[in-house]
Amino acid sequence: MNKQDLIDAIAKDANLSKADAKRALESLTGNVASTLKKGGKVSLIGFGTWSVSKRAARTGRNPQTGATIKIGAKKVAKFKAGAALSKAVN
Give the model confidence (pLDDT) of 12-25 as tens digits.
999 999 999 999 99
User: Do residues 45 and 88 both lie within one domain?
Assistant: yes
User: Do residues 52 and 83 both lie within one domain?
Assistant: yes
Q: Across residues 33-48, what is the average pLDDT?
A: 95
Share of the chain above pLDDT 90, in %: 99
CB 19 within 8 A of CB 11: no
- CATH code of the domain in which 90 resides: 4.10.520.10
What pLDDT does residue 11 have? Answer: 97
The domain total for the chain is: 2
Domain of 49, in residue numbers = 40-90
What pLDDT does residue 51 have? Answer: 97
Give the model confidence (pLDDT) of 59-77 as tens digits.
999 999 999 999 999 999 9
Check the CA dihedral 25-30-33-38 and report its sign: negative
The per-residue DSSP string of 59-71 comes to: EEE-TTT--EEEE
Q: Across residues 33-49, what is the average pLDDT?
A: 96
